[in-house]
Each structure stands twice: as structure tokens, then as C-alpha cells.
Structure 1
């Protein structure tokens, strides 16, 4: 549920080893410094023609084909089989080495991107205020303006700040426990009963269960079975992937959004008091003079989209636990112990999102002149952080391609800028805690009465985990306890 839309125990540079709760040593990264040593820079680093073509072929084109707002499962499966993430990582490593870690300007069809390849620059990216480094980059805006025209990400300036404040308050972004936590957990338990029927859990059943749960959490019980609304939103998301390049279809998507928005308002008007839509309708801004502009309920489209991503996260986490039985035992001990916060399980979810982030790239655009590595760049510069690359960079992250949930259990781990499954700074996901609650509660509901004894695709814990892991093909074997 990122607004861009995510610290490591024993995993920072220079660390020699650390022990997980099961006694497994975490290999140390390279002994180099946390930032790539900078060479003297007299002019901005710019990618050459060959570099630009390679970057487009291995990074930006695959990202576009994968889909920014609705992931295309067949494309992800094909790229996973081909090892596409490895191509992208190799390209970025080569760029970093050639330019000494400096930000690199890369020309593309939609303009120039400033790609940040060094940890110090990534830290600056998160520290800059959103008014300077804005969320609504042109490409992102073109897509999201179809999907959520009054949403936070499509806003800037005072309007963005006001909408973000409302969003944060409805989602209880500053609290680890949402005020509706008890009701949401009850909904999870009710819906999760459908997941454990039979000896196998496939992603199709999980996706449908999560979609029902999301509609109940956002819009109330009356919306639970509204498959028509789900189809409308899916069609809008798919068109958003094309970023208004198909003019006729973009107009149709706008008309479909109007129908969906009216349906959402109908549900919101009679939603249970604990739902997100009801909380938004009761927010003081909903009755204020700027209610039409701020449109508190309009953010419901984003909440539904964000909660749908719980399905892939749960599927991947359960698959990883099936391949790591000792970790599954540790998680189940926490579940049986009755701790409602389930810290070990939440650490597993965070680790899954480190390995397979929902938002692999963060893109923003500057609203004022900025300085990077002593070079000044004008307002309007698009800045890219390849978050997945950084989170799985063996030079800075210990056991970068391994499933090591214990790295998230040390104090302050979630605020380490090296890793960002929920982003950081002004763009940090306001639904972080709610997303973790929902994912962990669903996984716990499965593991209370069952053990995941196998899964497809098969993962070998002795080898580096694959760079991509499509969720659509995941099948999990469940054995009753």
C-alpha cells in the first residue's frame, strides 16, 4: 500500500556475521564502505548510447510490459523463466562501476531519468520533502489519473498534503494497531476458512478470498460479493498500465471510473462504522467547504488496489515458509503462543517484500532545483530509485538473495534506508501497518490448523532465490496438524 505505489540485523557493510533465531549465520556483505567511493565529478554522468539501449531493454521495457498498476501474470512468468531480474541487476551494476556510483542521466522515450545507484544518494532521496521531490511524476500521473484522479499520488502542493493527512488518519498510519483491528481480524478469520478446504491452496482461490476481504474492509459487507465492481476496477487498472497511450480506451476507462465511483459512494453511505470508507465519510473534511476537492472517499479505489496486493504477498510468504521449515516452526510457535502482534510472522512478510517488492522502482519528479553529488539539476527532473536492485544488492545487503526474516527483528530495522519495502520519508506507505496486519492474519489463519509441507514452484533454500517469483502459478500443499 505504498504512497509511491518498503534495517537489517547483521546485514550492513562491515558486519561479519549475525545469528538468526534458529542459529543460521547471515553471511556478511563486501567489506567496502556503505556508499560507493565517489570519484571526482566535473560534469553530470550521462549514459552512452549503448548503455541507454541496454538499460531500456533490460529494465524500463520489462517494467512497462510487466504493468505498473495491474501486474500481467503471463509476462511475469515469462520474465521469471528467462531470469530478467538478473539482466536488470547486471546493467545497473555495470552503470554504477562505470560512473563511480554517481547518479546517471539516462535518456528514454518519455524524457530523461536520473538513476540513483549509490546508497548515499538513495538516503538523500528519502530525506527530501515531497514538495521538492514530488510523487506525481508524469508517467505515474498519466496512469493513476485514470485509476484515482482525486487520490494522494495524483496531487501536489497543499492539496496533496491535505489529502495525505486524511489518508493517514483513516489508515492510522502512525499507529501499529488500527482502531478497527479487532473487526478486521474477525473478517480475516471469516474469509480465511475458504482457504484451507482440501489439501491444496492455489493462488486463484487466495486472490478471490483477498478481494472479498478487501471489499469488506473498505466498503462493508454489502460489497463482499460484488464481482462486477471488481471487473470494472480491473479493467481500469489494466488501462492505467498504458498511461493514456490508447486515447479511445482511456476515455472509456474514465467513463467506467465514474460508474465505479458512484458504486463506491453507494456502499460507503451504508458501510459498517469500522470500515475505511465509513471512517473517511466521518472525517471532518468530508463535511467541510473543500469536501469536493479533497474527496475523502475517493481514496477507496487506492485502498482496494493496495489490499489486493495482500494476495501475492501471502502466497509468496507461504511458499518461502514451505521451503524453510525451521522458520515455519518459529512462526507457528508465535501463533500458538497467542501474541496478537506476531513479530516473527511480520518479519517474514517484510522479508518477502524485500525480496519481491510490490513497487520495484520509485519514480519522482523535482519541483525545485536539486543537487546530487555536487551537480545541480533543474526542476522537472525525473529521479529513479531502483528499489529492488538496492534491496538485493550483495555489496550492501548481507544474504541478499536469501530468506532471512531475523534481519527485521533488530530495533530500528524498518527504518534502515538501505531497505525499503514500504518506502521511507514523506512517501512512506501510510497503509504499512494495515497491510502487515492483514497479511500476517491471513497467514496465521492458514498455519493454525495446517502445515505447508510443499509448494510449487519448488524453491531450494541452499541456493540463491530467484529474482522474480510470479504469484499466479503458486500452489501450496497443506497438511492438517
Structure 2
């Protein structure tokens, strides 16, 4: 097995029989770098850089990236195509079945601890599950699965969490909401939800903890390149961990920290080292909430169905209850559909630890694999509802069966907190649908036009007006 030069001057993966994977040309690599990899990096991998994110959205980066992917597939076939990634030769997965092979494959072969994750998380939480491999990953995965109740439709603390979500969402629905809430206000409410649910009610107002974490995530965007800031980064992390320890030492039994004692652990688990990643996951949760509110407010038929479902669930089971939440499958599907349209992680990256076979070609171990999740979720050549709001596809199983649609990843690397994230996001959105009218400004969405690949959340305003009379409700 070798990496060999072809007449085009590029590199190919080749097996003993001479069958080679397709390879991007120099021009294609340049277009990918400038039009796809570089904007993603500049926007921020671990924490969005607001100004750059707004610029990338306005330049329609997602659409341009999808066009590049389709052009590569037209020229090279299903692939995967060998491209120059940020850390060496990378297999760019352009076929849905190949995406399933990667995501369904064992993490011992398709490892998640890529260079980007390890170097980025070194600044924030070097012991995080997502930057682990082998025995460390096994131990940390077992701990995360146990605390987050992975695979359970409702977390064991779901009743309390739903009440917390309801309280924090209602706190936003005052006179300010009638004038229109900026996305940052929704973010602040969800940050309080995270601190209360993860660390306990005592952490509700600990803005300093969140500020320190944001600074560390901003530094993680540089992936260790700013070595002169290493000492400062260590000080920031030490201060954040000290604040976190206050809540974990005398943990609130109604928080995730209160579940640490009963969760499986060993010498390599590093329980306190998993918490920062849960808070990091609040960013995509916040985005999903804002996006779902924007979609419902601009799609009247979906809005009416979701609002009626919330009313029926409240009548039958009571608001902020676990049975009530479980009786809202359509609203959950709306949240999941928002994450399909605008995936929280646009690219799922892996590194191979052994040879991998791709039809008749074999790639050596030690190469990177990139599944462009955002492209696959919006691949109009394969997905008939690519650019429209279609929550029903999650209810009938269409989206669930499509492994290339993977906003929370799949297989052994599937997000341990997916169900918990859906619970928090659905509960928050449900509060906006109780007893009031929802509207948004600053975005152009609707059922009669294809949905954009991105929109500038900084311009979005979420409006809420309570019903004036019982008849209106």
C-alpha cells in the first residue's frame, strides 16, 4: 500500500492490484481550502467568532461548499476523494453509504481523537471524551453515558430539568419579548439552564464560570498555535476548574454533578474533566432553540400543529412534566429538523488506525476521514426535502434511517447527551408556544422559498405576545 504520484502531480491511495481512490487536483484542493476549510476555521471550530460568523453567513458559505462537493462527486464519482486537509491527506466522504461505513464503524478503527480535537481541547479539557482513545475512551464513555442517561427518552432528572427550563424561558417572556428578544437574550437564558442543570441551582448566577469557559473556547479555536499564551490559558483553566469544584464537592442532587457518585469510574475516567464539554454543547443547543423558534414563527401550519400538541400535552399531563414532554413528538421532531437544516457540527472528522476498504480500493491506516454532515443533510440530489422544513420525516423514520443525516453523529461516537439536549431544547421552545403568539424579525424564512444554508442570528429578533383574552388562547 503506497501513496503514489500521478501525472496530475497529486497523491493517490492505491492497493496491490493498482486500484486507486480518486484524487483532487491542485485546483480542486485550492478551491476547497479557500471556499470550504478556511471559512470554517475562521468562523471558529470550538466557539463562533461572531463577526466572522456573520460574514460567512452573508457570503453563503454553505451553498458554495455544497457546490464544491457536488462538483467533486460529478468529476470523481462516489469516492471518497483524497484531498489535502488541515492536518494531512484526508478522505472526503461524498457518498451516503460511505458515510454510513464511517459512522457505523468501530471507533477503534475510525477514531474520533483527531489532531484538531486533541490540540483544541488541550486548552479547555484535555481529558474530554471526544479527545480520547482506547481504554481512556471506554472508561470516559461509560461515565458520560451513565450520567447523561444516553439512549433514554427522558433523563432520570427530567422532571426537575423541565421545571428549570420553564422558569428560565418564562423569565424572558415579559415586555421585552413583545418588542423582540435578540438571540443573545435567549442564549443567556439557556446558559442559566445549563449551569442549574449541570452544576446545580447554586451556580445559576455564576457568570464568571461561563466567561472563563468562553475565553478558553476562544483560545481553543487556535488549536495550540498561540504557544506564547499557554501560561495564561493554564491560569484560566485552573480558575474555571476551581469554580467548578465548588459545585461538585457538595453537589446538588438534582444536577448532573449529583450523579457522579453512582456513575462507573476508574483511574482514567477523569469525571471532572467531562463537564466542560457538556457546557460546550450548550452552543449548538442554543442555536437549535433559536432556529426552531424562527422556523415555527415563519411556517404557520407547523406552528399551529406544534402549539396544539403542547396544549394537548399540558391538558392531559400538566405543564413541565415528563409525560407531557413525551407527548410532544412533533415538537421534538421540529427541533431535530432544525439540527438537520443547520447541523451543530458541519463536519464529522475521524482518523483511521488501520487499513480501510472502500469498494475495490484500500486506504492505509493513519489517514484522516471527513464526513461533511451539513452537505449530506442538504444533498438535494439525494434528499427530496433538502431545503424545506420537514419535521414529519423524523416521525415517519425517513430521517432516522438516513445515516448520512447525523446532526448528533451516529454509532459508537453518537453524542451521549443527545436525548438530554432534545429535552432541554424542546422544553424551552414549548414555553414560547404556551399562551402566546410567536413572531420573528430579521430573517427571511418561509414555506414558499428554499431555506438558506445559514442566517445571521445576530439580526434575529424573537417576538412573543401573550394572548389578550381567554378566547384568543
TM-score computed with the length of structure 1 as normaliser: 0.88
Instruction: List per-residue Cα deviations over 1:387-423 (Å, max 9, x = no partner).
Output: 0000000011112011111111014742431311111
Change (3 A) 1:474 1:62: same
Q: CA deviation at 1:274?
A: 2.2
Q: CA deviation at 1:458?
A: 2.6
**Structure-2 residue corresponding to 1:139:** 116
| RCO higher in structure (CA 8 A, sep ≥6) | 1
* Aligned 8 A contact 1:281 1:297 in 2: no
Q: CA deviation at 1:371?
A: 1.3
Q: CA deviation at 1:283?
A: 2.4
Change (3 A) 1:281 1:236: farther
* Aligned 8 A contact 1:122 1:417 in 2: yes
**Structure-2 residue corresponding to 1:86:** 63
Question: What aligned pairs does 1:299-318 form with structure 2 within 5 A after superposition?
Answer: 299-318=274-293
Is 1:237 aligned to 2:237, yes or no? no
Instruction: Supply the distance in 2 between the matched residues of 1:114 and 1:344 (Cα, whole angstroms).
Output: 37
Q: CA deviation at 1:335?
A: 0.3
Is 1:355 aligned to 2:355, yes or no? no
**Structure-1 residue corresponding to 2:231:** 251
Among 313, 336, 350, the residue aligned to 1:364? 350
**Structure-1 residue corresponding to 2:47:** 70
SS in structure 1 opposite 2:281?
A: helix
Instruction: Supply the distance in 2 between the matched residues of 1:195 and 1:311 (Cα, whole angstroms).
Output: 14
Instruction: Supply the distance in 1 between the matched residues of 2:227 and 2:88 (Cα, whole angstroms).
Output: 20
Is 1:398 aligned to 2:384, yes or no? yes
Farther-moved stretch of structure 1 (242-251 vs 176-185): 242-251
Which runs of 5 or more residues in structure 2 are unaligned? 1-16, 314-323, 468-473
Is 1:340 aligned to 2:325, yes or no? yes
Q: CA deviation at 1:284?
A: 4.3
Instruction: Supply the distance in 2 between the matched residues of 1:194 and 1:317 (Cα, whole angstroms).
Output: 19
Which runs of 5 or more residues in structure 1 are unaligned? 1-39
Question: What aligned pairs does 1:374-393 form with structure 2 within 5 A after superposition?
Answer: 374-393=360-379
Question: What aligned pairs does 1:73-472 form with structure 2 within 5 A after superposition?
Answer: 73-198=50-175, 199=178, 200-285=180-265, 290=267, 293-338=268-313, 339-341=324-326, 342-411=328-397, 413-472=399-458
Query: Between Structure 1 and Structure 2, how many residues are aligned?
Result: 437
Instruction: Supply the distance in 2 between the matched residues of 1:405 and 1:250 (Cα, whole angstroms).
Output: 45
Q: CA deviation at 1:471?
A: 2.5
RMSD: 1.6
Structure 1 ranges of 4+ moved more than 3 A: none
SS in structure 1 opposite 2:338?
A: helix
* Aligned 8 A contact 1:322 1:455 in 2: no
Instruction: List per-residue Cα deviations over 1:362-389 (Å, max 9, x = no partner).
Output: 0010111111222222221100000000
Farther-moved stretch of structure 1 (155-164 vs 138-147): 138-147
* Aligned 8 A contact 2:92 2:370 in 1: yes
